[in-house]
Structure 1
Amino acid sequence: MTGPSFETCVVFMLGYPGMGKRTVGRHLAGLLDGVLVDNALVSRPVLELFRWDGVFPLPPQVWDHVVPIRDAVVRAIEEIAPASNSYVFTNVVEDGPDAPEQYGVVRSLAHRRGSLFLAVVLTCDLDEQVSRIDNPDRIAARKGADPEGYRRYTQTTRLFQPPAEEAVTIDTTSTPPEENARHLLAVLGERGFRPA
């Protein structure tokens, strides 16, 4: 007996900053002929208002202003974007009372669209992760760029762990992002992804 098949998918890449979510996600979106919805795409309109250099502290309420942008993106995908599109989301979801809701926004979107949902948890050696933090691409995208600040963040902040049956873990320390993306495409295929 075979399980259900899906013509589209929604992948949620989760992990600490510098793990390679955007890079692996970009390669996976290319393999899917899909759309990358990087967390910087959602937060950048607000962070541009501060000309954020990725280092100086932002007011905590900044993130409250990002939520309506995320919600608008999700509504646009559901209501007006082509139904044939697959999507790769990226984000850092800290563990806490709001975490299940943040995770559920993307998972529920997949279910409402009839798309296969896969959560991907990225891991990486801490020194390698920190070495990636202050690269010019991150700064240009208004992503955090303080290596030692993110070392402390990684060591002291617990992230949300998705249900094991919905998730796969990949290590980005030394595996090329293209290889990780191909692996994820194979996992999607094993779980019923059958693009038209």
Structure 2
Amino acid sequence: MKLIFLYGPAACGKLTVARELAALTNYPLFHNHLALDAVTAVFPFGSEPAIRLRSLYWLSMFEEAARQDRPLIFTFAPERTVPDSFIAETRAAVEGHGGAVLFVELAVSPEEQMRRVENPDRKASKKIHSREVLRKFRDGGGAAYPPIPADLVIDTEALAPEAAAQAIVEALKLEPLPEPHVAYPDPE
């Protein structure tokens, strides 16, 4: 099992590249906001229960995917509410069942990030969607997180999402699944 762990700052193209990667590999996509939206429906962002439950949700999914030998794509925005132990716990959850975590950093310049942050789809997805909020997030140390070792770095300004996904497949030697992931199979 391979966990393709895409990470980078807000508006670097994580979800866009992840969707292209899922289309090329047929791997399921478990993006950051699935867990975040679930826990913040009940507990405020940054609260102790939200932080604890989000990590539990992420790690449980990784471990079960590894247990089932199910490759997975995950998107992650490093920020200060995520426990420093999260990367080590992710490795343990996956590697404990014979899997591998492949870290792909998506990079973008601060100027391009500022330009992209106001894309209308970001607001619809409840992501940081204004320059003012992004500035406050940066200035307040919101993006502070220990360095994550990258197996691959992709410049999302230099490569379109399709090309970035193709570069990830080639560099990491990803083998596509024979069938696409289906969230809700048709009953027979």
- Separation (CA, whole Å) in 2 of partners of 1:195 and 1:112: 23
Q: Which has the higher contact order (CA 8 A, sep 6+)?
A: 1
RMSD, aligned α-carbons: 2.9
User: Normalising to structure 1: TM-score of the pair?
Assistant: 0.74
- Find the residue that maps to 1:72 and give its secondary structure: helix
What amino acid maps onto 1:23 in structure 2? Answer: T
- Find the residue that maps to 2:96 and give its secondary structure: helix
Aligned to 2:21: 28
- Separation (CA, whole Å) in 1 of partners of 2:87 and 2:70: 20
Give aligned pairs, total: 175
Q: State the percentage of identical aligned residues.
A: 26
Task: Answer whether contact 2:51 2:82 (CA < 8 A) is retained.
Answer: no
Aligned to 2:155: 171
- Find the residue that maps to 1:113 and give its secondary structure: coil
- Separation (CA, whole Å) in 2 of partners of 1:123 and 1:171: 5
Task: Answer whether contact 1:15 1:92 (CA < 8 A) is retained.
Answer: yes
Matched, 1:181 2:165: yes
Within the candidate set 97, 100, 122, 2:106 is matched to: 122
What amino acid maps onto 1:162 in structure 2? Answer: I
Within the candidate set 5, 22, 40, 1:12 is matched to: 5
CA separation of 1:72/1:149 partners in 2, compared to 1, >3 Å: closer, same or farther? closer
Unaligned runs of 5+ in 2: 178-188
CA separation of 1:33/1:84 partners in 2, compared to 1, >3 Å: closer, same or farther? farther
Task: Answer whether contact 1:121 1:168 (CA < 8 A) is retained.
Answer: yes
Aligned to 1:55: none
Deviations 1:91-147 (A, max 9, x none): 122379932x11123222321232232111121122211122122322222212122
Within the candidate set 71, 83, 86, 1:86 is matched to: 71
- Separation (CA, whole Å) in 1 of partners of 2:95 and 2:66: 16
Shift of 1:171: 0.8
Task: Answer whether contact 1:130 1:147 (CA < 8 A) is retained.
Answer: yes
- The 5-angstrom pairing of residues 1-196 of structure 1 reads 8-48=1-41, 60-61=46-47, 64-79=49-64, 83-94=68-79, 98-99=83-84, 101-154=85-138, 157-163=143-149, 166-189=150-173, 193-194=174-175
Deviations 1:71-94 (A, max 9, x none): 134324534788242111111223
Larger CA deviation: 16-25 vs 123-132: 123-132
Unaligned runs of 5+ in 1: 1-7, 51-57
